[in-house]
Amino acid sequence: MPWMYILECADGAFYTGSTNGDVAARVWAHNFDDVHSAAFTRKRRPVRLVYAEDYPTVDAAFAREKQVQGWSRRKKLALIEGRVDELPALSRPAADGDAPDR
């Protein structure tokens, strides 16, 4: 089953990705596999899964990954914490220049 997921890195940064298989195996790869992990997470290990959504197709999971990658840290935190009612308001630019993580 395809997944979109968010990892929290050791330095507090978020990494948003997608996979077409076992999300637990993908998290393991981010932590231990130097060939099949993203350079972003290799430098920020260990990482832990903080959020995941399943999708019917790889294309849908990838599209959601790209959408969430562009979100601010505050908006990602709202999603992770289940505060979905706050997402529309967090779509507006923040005065503090809250830049998105990867």
Handedness of CA 74, 50, 100, 89 (dihedral sign): negative
Statement: the pTM of the whole predicted model exceeds 0.95: no
Tell me: the pLDDT tens digits for 8-21? 999 999 999 999 99
Tell me: the pLDDT tens digits for 13-66? 999 999 999 999 999 999 999 998 999 999 999 999 999 999 999 999 999 999
